[in-house]
Amino acid sequence: MSAVLKESKATMANALVPKGHESGVRVAAKSKKRAIERVPEKARDSLPASSPSKRGKATRDLPNGAVAGLPSPAPIAVAANVSLPKGQNGDAAQQPAASESAGDSVPKGQTERADLSHTIATLRELHRKRQDFHRSEKSLTLQIKAICRRLCAGDKDEADKLYAAMLKDAEDAQAMMAREWTEPFIQARSILEGNRKQVEKDMEKVAKTLPVAKWVEGIKGFGIGSLAAVIGEAGDLSNYPTHSHLWKRLGLAVIDGGRQRLVPGADALVHGYSPSRRSVVWNIGQCVFKAQSPRVDKETGEVKVEAGEYRKLYDARKEYEMGRVETKGHAHNRAMRYMEKKLMRDLWKAWRVCG
């Protein structure tokens, strides 16, 4: 009776299988047979021989299709290819193209700008380092000159002569004595001077990598070192919406009808004046003024070298200011300030064009 029931259950199971398919029992048997056939003949002998009862218990604990004593195959991520967008390959990680990602962040009508943040940060730190060396040099120089004044009983003119004679290694007794007293200060200053000059060379190397460097090289008297100093004080010129904001940063703005300057009290916040930043532009103006001045033969009066563009701006502005101020010195200072502002304005424009 039990044999008849088992046969009927097997017949019903096979009847439920769709046409063209095999029952789960047959599939499991075939899978087990194929797995054993893939094992080499020598390896088959090493398979553990166990009793039918133990073998059946071990097989029940294994996943479908696995065989005792054999490592299970790695699962296949079939669904991975289904979730990939059309046109992409699942074998490698898909990354957006650099041109596509960059183009999305650039506003319409503008070109892509280079990332200069690292270069500018390096220049600013080198500029601060140079200032530290320069201040220490200046402090030592003042100490040396103070010793010379003490040796000259407070006479400034005589102290300046003694200072110059001491540096030239003059053989008179007073110069030799001054040299002996100030020798440690002079040695310390020479060490600082060597380090400062090396930092200035490093600044020029970094500044030459800026896109605006070619424009600066075309301005006679400007120089890459001066560009490095401006960036060291002002930072990224792209952060200034207009050239007037750059003027304010560098101490060239007009505040309440007067020039931007160092004032006490609450007005100091309005002016935001920094003597060190202003001195950077002042020194640049002096270099440009001298480099672009015309060269005239003293004997014949013939002009050998014409005045540069910014020297012409100075001359025109000085002539205009002569009718507004009392002295030539005031007219000169105003004309120099005007020339420096035009130069910084042009630098701001070139920075934005060059990127």
Phi, psi of 77 (to 5 degrees): -80, 85
Q: Which residue has the higher pLDDT, 217 or 15?
A: 217
Does the pLDDT of residue 53 top 80, yes or no?
Answer: no
Q: Where are the alpha helices (DSSP H) in the chain?
A: 2-15, 24-38, 41-45, 52-61, 80-83, 98-105, 117-151, 156-167, 173-207, 213-217, 224-234, 243-250, 267-271, 275-291, 309-322, 328-354
pLDDT confidence of 17, banded at 50, 70, 90?
very low
pLDDT confidence of 354, banded at 50, 70, 90?
confident
Could you state, in order of their start, the residue ranges of all structural domains in the chain? Answer: 116-202, 210-355
Does the pLDDT of residue 190 top 70, yes or no?
Answer: yes
What is d(CA 182, CA 196) in angstroms, rounded to the nearest whole number?
A: 21
Q: What is the pTM of this model?
A: 0.64
Q: Which residue has the tokens 């605006």?
A: 212
Q: Which of 113, 277, 126, 287 is nearest to 206 (CA)?
A: 126
